[in-house]
Structure 1
Amino acid sequence: MEIKGITVTLYEKVVTGKDKFDTDIYEEHAVNVENVLVAPVTSDDITTERSIMSDKVIYKLAIPKGDTHTWTDCLVEFFGKKFKVVGEPIEGIEEMLPLSWNKQVQVECYD
């Protein structure tokens, strides 16, 4: 039996210029990422300092190997709702995930 994920829409931030204070200006570009595993979080899954303080973390996403998108501080959409990525992607967790995935992120509700 093969495990297969779903397609999620990642709203990746892309630098489009600088403002008058030399701060980056971003635009969000929607990108479909296929074969992403989605699972509800447990108390053991909440590993980052920020998510410990957040009571809204509800899903963890396993990202497929070879994915080169930036998942930090982005929005994702699946199940007809938008979610905010919390913390940094955790890499090198092959022993915890099936062979086709190698990093994960946690997401919280986006209001």
Structure 2
Amino acid sequence: MKTIIKGIPVKLHVKTQNGTDGFNRPTYYDEIVTVDNVLIGAPSADEVVNELNLSGKRIAYTLAIPKGDTHSWVNTEVEFFGGKFRTIGFPTEGIEENIPLSWNKKVKVERYG
């Protein structure tokens, strides 16, 4: 029996600068982009404890981002499973050509709102 691994679509909130305010600070608007084929998994107990000790944030899930994705996954909102989450830290990224499957980035998220 052949099994195919497939992710789900998630909504990524991309901040785009649309001008400046009266104090010359940039203003942004959220554009919601759907990213297909994202794998969602549970973090290991070690990952949860380490992140809690380092940043005080509790990891809810770990996301695997598909190859070729160019969005910024740093400090941004993500929606899936009917909930909102915020990314923690920087994505861990591998070399696309050296990874056999369809995903080469790993992002940690915490429950948000």
Q: 1:103: how far off? A: 0.6
Pick one of 18, 33, 36 that aligns with 1:34: 36
Is this contact kept in 1: 2:51–2:59, CA < 8 A?
Answer: no
Q: How many residues align structurally? A: 109
1:11 paired with 2:13, answer yes
Q: Distance in 1 between matches of 2:10 and 2:103?
A: 15
Greater helix proportion: 2
User: Deviation digits for residues 2-45 of structure 1, max 9, x if unmatched?
Assistant: 11001100111111112233332111111111000000111444
**Which residue is 1:89 aligned to?**
91
Unaligned runs of 5+ in 1: none
Structure 1 consecutive aligned stretches of length 4 or more whose deviation exceeds 6 Å: 48-51
* Aligned partner of residue 57 in structure 1, secondary structure: coil
Q: Distance in 2 between matches of 1:32 and 1:51?
A: 32
Q: Percent identity?
A: 48
Code of the residue aligned with 2:58 in structure 1: it is K
Instruction: Give the stretch that moved more between structures: 16-25 or 1-10.
Output: 16-25
CA root-mean-square deviation? 2.5
User: Deviation digits for residues 55-83 of structure 1, max 9, x if unmatched?
Assistant: 42110100000111111111000000000
1:58 paired with 2:81, answer no
Q: Distance in 2 between matches of 1:12 and 1:51?
A: 29
**Which residue is 2:104 aligned to?**
102
Code of the residue aligned with 2:66 in structure 1: it is P
TM-score, normalization by structure 1: 0.83
In structure 2, relative to structure 1, the CA distance for the partners of 1:51 and 1:15 (3 Å cut) is farther
